[in-house]
Amino acid sequence: MKHNEAETIALNALSFLIGNETRLERFMTLSGIEPRALKDNASDPVFLAGILEYLLQDETLIYLFAEEYNLSPALPATAHRTLAGGHNGDYH
């Protein structure tokens, strides 16, 4: 997976969390992140990998996210590996 594709999936995951007050509050409580930091870090690949890692810890969230964005449920894990430094054979 190309880095920009992984970033798009992660940004969609962030939008998915922001789009639901309950999901967002739970994420912010568990991560300790402040609302301003969501915006400030939205372009940081490590932060985006963390968003995906959070989703990957909850199978229900992954399936809801995948359904809402019409993605394979396996893609968030692939995007996470790409953003976290795994290349999956793609060095672009």
> Could you tell me the pTM of the whole model?
0.87
Domains of the chain, residue spans = 3-83
Measured from the Cβ of residue 66, the count of other Cβ atoms closer than 10 Å reads 18
> For residue 48, which of 24, 86, 84, 78 has the smallest C-alpha distance?
84
pLDDT digits (tens, 9 = 90+) for 15-74: 999 999 999 999 999 999 988 888 899 889 999 999 999 999 999 999 999 999 999 999
Over the range 79-91, which residues count as b (16 or more CB within 10 Å of their CB) and which as e? bbbbbeeeeeeee
Cβ 49 vs Cβ 29: under 8 Å: no
Which residues contact residue 61 at a Cβ distance below 8 angstroms, ignoring those fewer than 6 apart?
Answer: 23, 55
